[in-house]
Amino acid sequence: MPSLLVLYNGSKVETRRFPGRLRGLAWDHDGSSLTLVGNTGKALKIQDSNDGVSLDTGTTHNLRSVSIGPIDNTALVVGNTGTIIAIKADGSSAKINPPTFENLRAVRWNADGTSALITGNNGTLLKYTTEHGIETISGGRANLRGISWRKDTHEALITSNCFAEEFIPSPNLFVFDGKVNSLKPVNEGRSDIIGVDWNPEGSFAVVVGYDVVWHNGFIGRFDASGVSPVEFQDTQVYPTAVRWDPTGRVTAIATCIAQLKSGQGRVTLWNGETFREIYRNEDYFFSNIAWSPVGFKLAAIASSEARTFDS
């Protein structure tokens, strides 16, 4: 079950293979290192061309996502069975007691590092602050997936599957208001929306996912008027992750597959008008993607075992 790290600097693509399944990644705030997390509690910190230094997570649960706090480079890591771990810059780690044992899928600090949001299965949404610890936010229904904070606000977009248990329709996009800890649905449809990212100015966001009925990919633009689809070649394309580069010039979109031989793992750049594919692989499929805060450096993590429903 190998994993593939894809790196892009604007002119060339490099790849590095790692044993085991890695799922999540995040840059530190000077862009000098990457933290990768994955199955059986695995976490690595990579600098330059080294093979990575193992980080002690104190768990064997599968880890799915990591976000680096801007205040002190603390890595907040989440994973299955309610796993939440804080890893400090010196490598020491501490478990944070969860109020749930649901599988947690994503975590993201806000821009000033005062709070982080955590999403998970069955409508799980958690807010973490060092002052108050973990708070549970109600309002979600289905499996909540991606998170993106809007610039200079207390708001974040939260993506969701479009069906809850027993195929009960669910909103697939929510707005979280951090001032009152509320979750408001803003879109419904038959697409699982998986990835989301506000552009650096906070004027609109890009959301990605796929139509669960026709199995066509979905890319949308969200602003005050709602979600409008972006036209692209969507047949057997399953976007799972999206991130804007820090300048707002391009957004990177990565794809996965729903089942074997149903597509490829791709990384594509979109400048608001045209798409340009920079990497494709028939055997590795992407679960996460991230731009360095400094310079034009993109990293994406893929696995031969990754699937859209499990990313």
- In this prediction, residues 124-150 reach a mean pLDDT of 96
Look up the pTM and report it: 0.97
Q: Write out pLDDT tens, residues 189-242.
A: 999 999 999 999 999 999 999 999 898 999 999 999 999 999 998 888 999 999
pLDDT at 115 over 70: yes
Distances (CA, A) of 133 to 86, 99, 129, 159: 12, 11, 5, 23
Given a contact cutoff of 8 angstroms between Cβ atoms, the answer to whether 128 and 134 are in contact is yes
For residue 36, what are the β-bridge partners?
A: 25, 44
Question: In the predicted model, what is the mean pLDDT of the chain?
Answer: 95
pLDDT, mean of residues 155-165: 95
The domain defined by 3-310 folds into Methylamine Dehydrogenase; Chain H (2.130.10)
Phi, psi angle pair for 165, to nearest 5° = -60, 150
CB 199 within 8 A of CB 205: yes
Average pLDDT over residues 83-88: 96
**What letters, b where the CB count within 10 A reaches 16 and e where it falls short, cover 235-271?**
ebbbbbbbbbbeeeebbbbbbbbbeeeebbbbbbbbe
**Sheet-wide strand order for 125-129:** 104-109, 116-120, 125-129, 133-136
Q: How many CB atoms lie within 10 A of CB 63?
A: 26
Whole-angstrom distance, CA of residue 187 vs CA of residue 306: 27
- pLDDT beyond 80 at 122: yes
What is the band of 299 on the pLDDT scale with cuts at 50, 70, 90?
Answer: very high
Which pLDDT belongs to residue 49? Answer: 67
Asked if residues 187 and 209 have their Cβ atoms less than 8 Å apart, the reply is no
Secondary structure (DSSP) of the chain: --EEEEEE-SS-EEEEEESS-EEEEEE-TTSSEEEEEEGGG-EEEEETTS--EE---S--SPEEEEEE-TTT-PEEEEEGGGEEEEE-TTS-EEE---S--SPEEEEEE-TTSS-EEEEESTT-EEEEETTTEEEE-----S-EEEEEEPTTSSEEEEEE-SB-GGG-B--SEEEEETTTTEEEEEE--SEEEEEEEE-TTSS-EEEEEEETTT-BEEEEEEETTEEEEPP---BT-EEEEEEE-TTSS-EEEEEE-SSTTS--EEEEEE-SS-EEEEEEESS-EEEEEEE-SSSS-EEEEEETT--GGG-
Instruction: Pull the structure tokens for residue 134.
Output: 């973990």
